[in-house]
Structure 1
Amino acid sequence: MENRTVLFVDDEPSIIGSLRRGLLDEKYNKEFAYSGEEALKIMEEKDIDVIVTDMRMPEMNGLELLKIVAEKYPDVIKMVLSGYTQLPQILATINQVDIFKFITKPWNLDEELIPIIRKAIETYNMKLENEELKKKLEKKNQLYEKILKSTEDKFSQYKKDYKDIKNLNNYIFDYFKIMLGKENYEDKDEIIKDIKIIKSILGNFVDSTPTEEKEFNVKKLVKDLTEYISEENYTNKIEINLNGVTNFKCKGNYKLLVNMLKSSMSSYLNNNENNSLRISVMTKDLENTVEIYFIIELFNSMNQDNMKRIKTLVAIMTHVMENTMGYIKLQTEGDKNTLVLMGKFDSK
């Protein structure tokens, strides 16, 4: 009650004076106005919870006032306290405005007016509580829908990851069936070398699941690769160049991109201790996507053994990239080979 305010409107000073005296001990706040215009001004300046108005007033009558209140302050509880008892006018007011109570003058203060005003405040409190409860329920429903959507998205992604791994395994077995039938695969050492390459690619691919979209920038990617090069003692074998790379943000399967780069580097370098490479990073900023190119130049790769390993690497990784985020291809130029690894990501 203490936090609620009731506005009384009547053009007769004697009525307002009587209300001031009779309601003095009531705990709610009380405001008084002698006209509809004054009442609206008070409502612009203060929060009114209940309005009690006379019907017959000059310039703006009670019905006109309540219609404005209903439009501008729809939550306010509206009551009529009037000696104006013609039935058509009473019905018109009730039909046009949501009236809580219609009390006729003269009223009984203790048995009629005070209990009804208290009931009006209780009704207002219940209305606010219901609105608050409704908002909380809507918020919870939105949260549950968000959780459900997130769960469904994760489940769909898990199914796709499972399907991708299954397809990759099938591709690898089919690939070996073909290669094992060729003469150059009679040497068991050759098979073991290829198995190591495929194990690295498959292991890194599995490690990148479950697929997770992540924000990153290209410079961080280069930093992580540089740390990997240092940890694997490849510092003297790998050179990284940035060609016009900007620090824009991307969102995509960062883990898979890093793992595929690691597979490319380790598979080639571990195949021959004399191998070395140079990585040039380039970016192309499109309207809604960013293309990141890794130009990997392979040195000391022209002997037959290295070419077999490179082709195995390219064949398997091409299958992985085509089903995920980009492509990898092998270009032969003069005395060196070049791997082009590309990832396509959403711009952020």
Structure 2
Amino acid sequence: MKNNTVLFVDDDTHIISSLRRGLIDEEFKKEFAYSGEEALKIMEKNKISVIVTDMRMPKMNGLTLLKMISEKYPDVVKVVLSGYTQIPQILATINQVNIFKFIAKPWNLEEELIPIIKQSIEYYNLTIEREKMKAEIERKNTLYTQILKSSNEKFSNMHKDYENIRTLDQNILNYIKNSSTQGNPNLFHAHLDFIEEIHKKYMDTLPTVTTNFDFKKIITEISNYISQNYSKNPIEIQLKDEKNIQFHGNYKLLMAYLTLFIKHSLRQYHTLKFTLSSESSKDTTTLFFIIELMKNSSSKDNFMSFIPLWNQFCQIINGQFELIKENPDYNILSLKIKF
């Protein structure tokens, strides 16, 4: 109770003086006011646990004071110390504000007033502790809900990763069994090497983590990759959309595929032109890469034979890798990713 403060309000100076003397040895802190207005000023400057107030006071009576305290300081425990003796008046006061105790004058300090004040302080402390526990429980529930949600998302992603690996490996086996490149040992082994490389790229990104990204992030990362791996910049990047739209998905895997695509395509093409655009529908926003490739005149054209393999891996991130058109000088490809 040493940390609790009790405010006594009464316009009778003799009663306040009596309370000062009678409560001097009590361990709780005491504040005294001679009017409702003075009481409100004290409450603005002090943390009050219990208010003990008279009802009949000039200007602002006790009921008006307690109503204002109930609105502004709802946790303060209210005790009425009054000469009212008529039951209707007592009930009216109790019904209009939440009164903890009603003590009629004259009162006995040791046997009545002090025990009630201590009960009021204990009630206040229990209420505050209950609110703290409630807030802590709500905080922990929120935290546990977030942990559970995160765990469920991770489990769901792990399940998707497992299904992707199983589907991908089965598709690769079917592709190898039915590949028309088996009659060309060099091309067949080139495909096997490519499968091993891109499969490792995919496995290195597991477990799947989805994140937000935009056009600017994509352009920055592609530019950094080019500057770190090529002395001359062989790529031109254009942004068709004026708005920098936000996407959400497996950005790590997307960039792994794009950088691998750049690596393999620049073995046969000396210039790549990326045009980034998007298309919004009701439920999704589709991210498009239109890629124009200028072929080296001395290269052997086997790059197009890798498109079915690119498509198999691209489907993991709900994408589609397709040839739009082909002519003697240019191959224009579209890498379409949906988010």
Answer whether TM exceeds 0.5 for this pair. Answer: yes
Alpha-carbon offset, residue 247 of structure 1: 12
Confirm or deny: 8 A CA contact 2:210 2:250 kept in the other structure: yes
Whether 2:275 is the aligned partner of 1:242: answer no
Counterparts of 1:300 and 1:114, CA distance in 2: 99
Alpha-carbon offset, residue 221 of structure 1: 0.9
Alpha-carbon offset, residue 192 of structure 1: 1.6
- Superimposed CA distance per residue, residues 221-260 of structure 1 (whole angstroms, 9 cap, x where no aligned partner): 1244226635xxxx57x71223359996765422212221
Deviates more, 1:11-20 or 1:105-114: 105-114
Counterparts of 2:59 and 2:263, CA distance in 1: 91
Closer, same or farther: CA 82–25 of 1 in aligned 2, 3 Å: same
Confirm or deny: 8 A CA contact 1:302 1:336 kept in the other structure: no
Counterparts of 1:169 and 1:228, CA distance in 2: 32
Which residue does 2:164 correspond to in 1? 164
Q: Secondary structure at the match of 1:306?
A: coil
Which residue does 1:317 correspond to in 2? 310
Whether 2:11 is the aligned partner of 1:16: answer no
Which residue does 2:56 correspond to in 1? 56
Counterparts of 1:133 and 1:194, CA distance in 2: 63
Which residue does 2:128 correspond to in 1? 128
Alpha-carbon offset, residue 156 of structure 1: 0.8
- Superimposed CA distance per residue, residues 258-294 of structure 1 (whole angstroms, 9 cap, x where no aligned partner): 2212332444566xxxx34323333337789684636
Closer, same or farther: CA 65–286 of 1 in aligned 2, 3 Å: farther
- Select 1:281's aligned residue among 264, 267, 274: 274
Alpha-carbon offset, residue 344 of structure 1: 5.3
Alpha-carbon offset, residue 148 of structure 1: 0.3
Counterparts of 2:66 and 2:260, CA distance in 1: 76
Amino acid at match of 2:235: I
Alpha-carbon offset, residue 130 of structure 1: 1.4
Counterparts of 1:162 and 1:337, CA distance in 2: 35
Which residue does 2:296 correspond to in 1? 300
- Superimposed CA distance per residue, residues 284-314 of structure 1 (whole angstroms, 9 cap, x where no aligned partner): 37789684636251523797x633x423x21
Whether 2:199 is the aligned partner of 1:205: answer no
Deviates more, 1:62-71 or 1:284-293: 284-293
Counterparts of 1:266 and 1:104, CA distance in 2: 92
Alpha-carbon offset, residue 162 of structure 1: 1.7
Closer, same or farther: CA 218–254 of 1 in aligned 2, 3 Å: same
Counterparts of 2:38 and 2:279, CA distance in 1: 62
Confirm or deny: 8 A CA contact 1:283 1:290 kept in the other structure: no
- Superimposed CA distance per residue, residues 35-88 of structure 1 (whole angstroms, 9 cap, x where no aligned partner): 334433433444322110112334443334323322332100010112222223
Amino acid at match of 1:336: Y
Closer, same or farther: CA 92–160 of 1 in aligned 2, 3 Å: same
Closer, same or farther: CA 225–250 of 1 in aligned 2, 3 Å: farther
Alpha-carbon offset, residue 132 of structure 1: 0.9
Which residue does 1:332 correspond to in 2? 326
What do you get for the CA RMSD once the two structures are aligned? 3.2
Counterparts of 1:261 and 1:72, CA distance in 2: 61
Counterparts of 2:81 and 2:174, CA distance in 1: 91
Confirm or deny: 8 A CA contact 2:292 2:330 kept in the other structure: no
Counterparts of 2:253 and 2:228, CA distance in 1: 15
Confirm or deny: 8 A CA contact 1:298 1:339 kept in the other structure: no
Map residues 2-13 of structure 1 onto 2, 5 A cutoff: 2-13=2-13
Query: How many residues end up aligned between the 2 structures?
Result: 330
Amino acid at match of 2:296: N
Amino acid at match of 1:212: V
Counterparts of 1:283 and 1:121, CA distance in 2: 68
Which residue does 2:66 correspond to in 1? 66
Confirm or deny: 8 A CA contact 1:200 1:267 kept in the other structure: no
Aligned-residue sequence identity (percent) comes to 44
Amino acid at match of 2:333: L
Confirm or deny: 8 A CA contact 1:241 1:280 kept in the other structure: yes
Counterparts of 2:290 and 2:18, CA distance in 1: 88
Closer, same or farther: CA 49–98 of 1 in aligned 2, 3 Å: same
Confirm or deny: 8 A CA contact 2:278 2:285 kept in the other structure: yes
Amino acid at match of 1:165: I
- Select 2:253's aligned residue among 229, 241, 256: 256
TM-score (norm 2): 0.83
TM-score (norm 1): 0.81
Closer, same or farther: CA 79–86 of 1 in aligned 2, 3 Å: same
- Superimposed CA distance per residue, residues 201-233 of structure 1 (whole angstroms, 9 cap, x where no aligned partner): 222222222211245513431244226635xxx
Alpha-carbon offset, residue 131 of structure 1: 0.9
Amino acid at match of 2:308: A
Whether 2:181 is the aligned partner of 1:188: answer no
- Superimposed CA distance per residue, residues 11-36 of structure 1 (whole angstroms, 9 cap, x where no aligned partner): 22211221122223334333223333
